Structure 1
Amino acid sequence: MEVLNTKVAIIGSGPAGLLLGQLLYKAGIEHVIIEQRSAEYVSARIRAGILEQVSVDLLKQAGVDQHLKEIGLPHQGIKILTGGEKHRIDLSGLTNGKQVTVYGQTEVTKDLMQARNEAGLTTFYESNDVKIHDFYEKPYVTFTQNGKQYRIDCEFIAGCDGYHGVCRASVPQNQIKTFEKVYPFGWLGILADVPPVSDELIYVQSERGFALCSMRSNTRSRYYLQVPLTDQVAEWSDERFWEELKHRLDPESRKKLVTGASIEKSIAPLRSFVTEPMRFGKLFLAGDAAHIVPPTGAKGLNLAASDIAYLSNALTEFYLNNSEQGINEYSEKCLKRVWKAERFSWWMTHLLHRFETESDFDIKIKKAELAYILGSEAGKTTLAENYVGLAY
């Protein structure tokens, strides 16, 4: 067994782990990343595509925003379609100039991987049987790569390995509490090389269910439909998808919609999930390892980024300033922001989707709430402030 030493062992090379690694590198803090999957698999995963202003600022701080500046699409507003009418939420006008940027998680991952490769930093891809040990006292990580056994002795472990990862699963059950809500529907999403139907995202509330018109670029679109969890991807041909989307859109959008062959199609279940706390001795959970949000509020990747902002600052303070304050406050700070994002994502999901258990009264109340939000400056401001991202 080969034994290595480092300051921080990062488990998982998704955007959270890669971003933490990049920020630690910029601060001169030794670390390694250990990833179960191959680099090719990690870089090809299709996920979120909306970055909050604070996430863009963090990527700039990490020195990986050049490509984002070149091809990212800044958006100053979103549209909500309800009752056959589109209503624009002026994000920038309601939040003193803040905005969101359309830039796919795949691109963020590639940018971070490229920066890591150029810096010659250590990443163990295709690591098997990853285990974390003794994280309350003297942490270390063991794994096998290409038939060779490794042990990484470290001072801290960052669990950035997602919902199904080993880090959260390694915490004793009596030390952790989880909160979860599973929604009774999923999002059927397709990616297609067709121009977007709108220059801004359209969130659709319709009698037939929720829909979302999004994009990844000016020539690549991402569309979603609310579907029952019992549906299978194979049941949805491209033709059926486009026809159903048209039914949920307004006449103007139907006329503008350009259809084409899908290059990716999948159904994602929706859930809300939070782990408390997010620190266990010298183990920190971040991103999907600690929390999941429905995609309705575009918060998943952005919450991971805010966790990493807190964690990178805490570790930098520890190593450069000999202060444990950030480490001790990590979980509390993260969870304050996490629960606000969970609330917003739950609220958006509840407001825009159809639930089979809803009574006629429930439907009327929800329509009245949405009408109030869209007709009130205060209501629109509340939505806009949450959408562009709350301050760290």
Structure 2
Amino acid sequence: MTRFVGLGGPAMVAPPCRELIDIARNLGAAHADAAAECDRSGEINTALLDDLRAAGYLSAVLPRPAGGGGHSLGEIVLAQAALAEYDASTALGVGMHLMVIGNEGWGTRWHPRRRERLFAYARQPGALFNVLATEPELGAPQRLERPATTLVPDGPDRWILSGRKSFATFAEELSHAVVYASVGDGSDDVCLVLLPMSAPGVSIERTWDTIGMRATASHDVIFDGTPVEGDNVVNRSSYRVLTKRPAMTPWFALPVAAVYLGIARAARNHAVEYARTRRPGRGARVADDPHVRELTGQMDAELMAAESTILVAASAAGLELLESPRFEAIEPIEAAAKLVVTSTAIRVVDAAMRIVGGAALRGGSPLERCYRDVRSGPVHHPNDGRAQAALAKHALDQLRTPVGIEGSRLFRVNA
């Protein structure tokens, strides 16, 4: 198959990154048939997940002093795109886990003792994390609205957690959850609670039934009077203060966008292989049709531009401290990258569908799954409207802050 290489090719990346990409690509390819079956059944591809864990992929962003691979955001973006070419659902679920560790490994938002506890959990066999923030009534807390899930006092340094979270990616495989909740002690505070999914009062309701990303098995998680020790309340702040902070972190926006870049690559590769080998009526190749050649050129140009955008955004984010006010300078870069990549991915998949034609619509076709999965891209935070609002905010309301690469540390380092 003629694969799209792009900026993740062997000549473009350092050996440690190449090794991580190879793990993602080789294991993804080995489990590709299972990925198709899991898409049909709506179950998690646990065999691939286990192999990724055994290969060290799930600890790739854990800092080296903590026993992990210490890979950068840019390296994770490339590896996630490679994995998503074969199994987008698994790439998305693993991406949520990497987000939790990456935020703390590189952003250091929690108290050091609690951060070390997270890293200790991450080193345990079977460790898998996710942030549970979305709720049935609230939806995704795009601006960190106060959730209905509550954490109420239950004696000295003890709490009770109650509520329901939806869109809990990989719910049945999670070892721990970071739960976004309102503090019910008369304050206006909100908090994050780190707790094992085996805790009393935690249950899963199998609600996941969607057209795309079916094998993420993102069921509802219910907390019914779940006891929480005080030290597991890992981050607490005033709701009013929280809403004034940047609404996204690069460790969520970019690895998620990379998944959709991988879906688009997979669709492109399938369409190109089809065009090169298909000869209707034993005549000319589909590849010789002028319109097909135009669509192919369009796909590759858009993929190269999207890949460049996400890697520049990852490089800029890697040079900024998330706790620093400088993060405001890269917020529009992250928003733009997520918007550009997910929008591009949809256009590329649609172009691939046009090249292949009616065969792409058959159930079980690789392109049919790409078509369904890629539609989820704009839904993830920041959605298109929020991304555009972040860009408009910097253009119209914060004129003193340079926008784009010039406003980030990347420009100053390389200038």
**TM-score, structure 1 normalization:** 0.28
Higher helix share: 2
